C-alpha cells in the first residue's frame, strides 16, 4: 500500500503496451491514460470530452474491453493491452469497423467518432450480431451532438454484417 503511494508521486518510468508496442513513460501513476496517449505517445484517436467518463470520446480498449481513458490512471494500465483508434487500422488499411463508418459517412464533425468506433469494436467482440436495439443500448453512453446517430447505427450494423460475411 505505502509503496504504491510512494510510487504514485515519484516519476518512475511506467511501461505501457499500446497498439502492440511497449512504451516507457515518465509520469505520475495517477496520470489519466488519456493525457499520456495524446501527449507522450502523440496519438490523436482518443479525445478529451468530459474527464468524467460520461461522454465516451476518449474510449480505448484495455484488454479488449471498452475503457474511458480519461478516468483510468496509467498506474492501473501496467501489464495490460491498450488499443487505440490508430491500432485498428490506417487510411490505406482500415479495420472493418473503421471502413463501415467511412462507408456510411457516420460522422459530422467527427469528434465523437473515436468513441463510436472503439465502442462498436468492443460491442462486436462480445456480441458479433447485435440487434439494432442492442446496438443502441451499447452506444447509449457515447454522446454525439451533431446528430449522426442514424449513420452511426447503420455503420455498426454494416460492420457486424461484414464480420459475419468474413466468418462464413
Partner 1 sequence: MASPLSNGAERGSLVVVRTVDEITSETFIRITADGSVSAYNGHVDLGTGIRTALGQIVAEELDVSLARVVVVLGDTAVVPNQGATIASETIQITAVPLRKAAAQARHFLIARAAERLELPAADLTIEDGLIRGHNRSVSYGELIGGETIRLELADDVAVKAVGDYAIVGQSMPRVDLPAKATGELTFVHDIRLPGMLHGRVVRPPYAGVDAGPFVGTSLIAVDEASVRDIPGLVAVVQIGDFVGIVAEREENAIRAAEQLAVSWKPTPTLADLADVEKALRAHPSTPRTLIDKGDVDAAISGAARPMRRTYVWPYQMHASIGPSCAVADFQDGNIRVWSGTQNPHVLRNDLALLIERPESEVEVIRLEAAGCYGRNCADDVSADALLLSRAVGRPVRVQLTREQEHAWEPKGTAQLIDVNGGLDAEGGIAGYDLATRYPSNAAPTLALLLTGRISSEPAVLEMGDRTAIPPYDYDHMRVVAHDMAPIVRASWFRGVSALPNTFAHESYIDEAATEAGVDPIEYRLRYLKDQRAVDLVNAVAERAGWTPRPMREEKDGDIVHGRGFAYALYVHSKFPGYGAAWSAWVADVAVNKATGDVSVTRVVAGQDSGLMINPDGVRHQIHGNVIQSTSRALMEEVSFERGAVAAREWGAYPIIPFPDVPKIDVLMLPRSDQPPLGVGESASVPSAAAIANAIFDATGVRFREPPFTPERILKGLRGDAPGTPQALPPPAPPPSRVWENPFAKHAGIFATIAALCTTAIGIGATLLPGRAIAPIARPDASVYSAATIARGQQLAALGNCAECHTTINGVPNAGGRALETPFGTIFSTNITPDVETGIGAWSYPAFERAMRDGLHRDGRQLYPAFPYTHFSKTDDADMQALYAYLMAQSAVRATAPANTLAFPFNLRPLLAGWNALFHQTREFTPDPAKSEVWNRGAYLVESLGHCSACHSPRNALGAERRQAYLAGGFAEGWEAPPLTSLSHAPIPWSEDELFAYLRTGHSRYHGVAAGPMAPIVRDLKALPDPDIRAMAVYLNSFNDKAADAPVLAATLESATQVTVASSTGARLYQGACAVCHEVGGLPLFGSRPSLALNSNLHSATSDNLVQVILHGITDPVSSDLGYMPAFRNSMSDAQVEELVGFLRKQFAPAKPAWTGVRETVARVRTSAH
Q: How far is CA 122 from CA 61, 63, 73, 116, 125, in A?
A: 7, 10, 20, 10, 5
b/e 32-45 (16+ beta carbons within 10 angstroms → b): bbbbbbbebbebeb
Q: In the complex with partner 1, which residue's Cβ is closer, 35 or 168? A: 35
Rounded to a whole number of angstroms, the minimum distance from the CB of residue 168 to partner 1 is: 25
Q: Which of residues 78-137 bind partner 1 (CB under 8 A)?
A: 80, 84-86, 88-91, 94, 98, 101-102, 105, 107-114, 117, 119, 122-123, 126, 133, 136-137
Could you tell me how many residues of this chain bind partner 1 (CB under 8 A)?
A: 90
Q: Which residues, 9 to 28, sit near partner 1 by CB under 8 A?
A: 9, 11, 27-28
Q: Which residue among 14, 16, 83, 139 contacts partner 1 (CB under 8 A)? A: 139
Amino acid at each position: 500500500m505505502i509503496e504504491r503511494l510512494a510510487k504514485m508521486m515519484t516519476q518512475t518510468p511506467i511501461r505501457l503496451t499500446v497498439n502492440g508496442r511497449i512504451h516507457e513513460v515518465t509520469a505520475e501513476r495517477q496520470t489519466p491514460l488519456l493525457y499520456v496517449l495524446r501527449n507522450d505517445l502523440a496519438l490523436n484517436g482518443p479525445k478529451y470530452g468530459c474527464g468524467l467518463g460520461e461522454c465516451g470520446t476518449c474510449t480505448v480498449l484495455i484488454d479488449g474491453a471498452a475503457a474511458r481513458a480519461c478516468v483510468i490512471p496509467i498506474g492501473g494500465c501496467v501489464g495490460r493491452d491498450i488499443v487505440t483508434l490508430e491500432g485498428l487500422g490506417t487510411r490505406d488499411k482500415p479495420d472493418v469497423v473503421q471502413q463501415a463508418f467511412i462507408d456510411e459517412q457516420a460522422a459530422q464533425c467527427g469528434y465523437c467518432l473515436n468513441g463510436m468506433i472503439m465502442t462498436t469494436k468492443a460491442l462486436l467482440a462480445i456480441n458479433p450480431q447485435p440487434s439494432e436495439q442492442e446496438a443502441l443500448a451499447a452506444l447509449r453512453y457515447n454522446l454525439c451532438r451533431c446528430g449522426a446517430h442514424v449513420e452511426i447505427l447503420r455503420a455498426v450494423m454494416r460492420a457486424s454484417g461484414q464480420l459475419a460475411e468474413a466468418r462464413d
